[in-house]
């Protein structure tokens, strides 16, 4: 029981709310999987208690910043694209020299 109380406290749940959850035989994983209405109806939590408990133990997804400009990740692809650009530039220079 002490481990379970400690686990709830690690998630920032108050000790009184953690004790109430433990009395109702709830664990952190059960709170995560149960819906808010189940916490209220089956386990006697008020709406505010259920929301607070659920928000505390449900992890937020990690937000990973996406680059605004697409960047070639593979050096071979970047090299081949650069090579093709150089070829096109050389061809334009060559054709430009032929014009009278």
pLDDT in tens, 59-78: 776 667 666 766 556 666 66
For residue 4, give every residue at least 6 positions away whose Cβ sits within 8 Å of its Cβ, in sequence order, or none.
18, 22, 27, 28
Q: Residue 36 above 80 pLDDT? A: yes
- Number of helices (H), then strands (E), belonging to the chain: the values are 6, 0
pTM: 0.57
């Amino acid at each position: 029981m002490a481990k379970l109380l400690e686990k709830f406290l690690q998630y920032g749940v108050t000790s009184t709310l953690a004790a109430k959850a433990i009395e109702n035989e709830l664990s952190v994983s059960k709170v995560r999987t149960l819906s808010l209405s189940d916490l209220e109806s089956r386990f006697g939590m008020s709406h505010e208690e259920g929301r607070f408990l659920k928000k505390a133990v449900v992890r937020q997804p990690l937000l990973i910043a996406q680059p605004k400009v697409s960047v070639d990740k593979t050096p071979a692809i970047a090299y081949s694209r650069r090579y093709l650009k150089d070829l096109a530039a050389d061809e334009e220079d060559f054709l430009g020299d032929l014009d009278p």
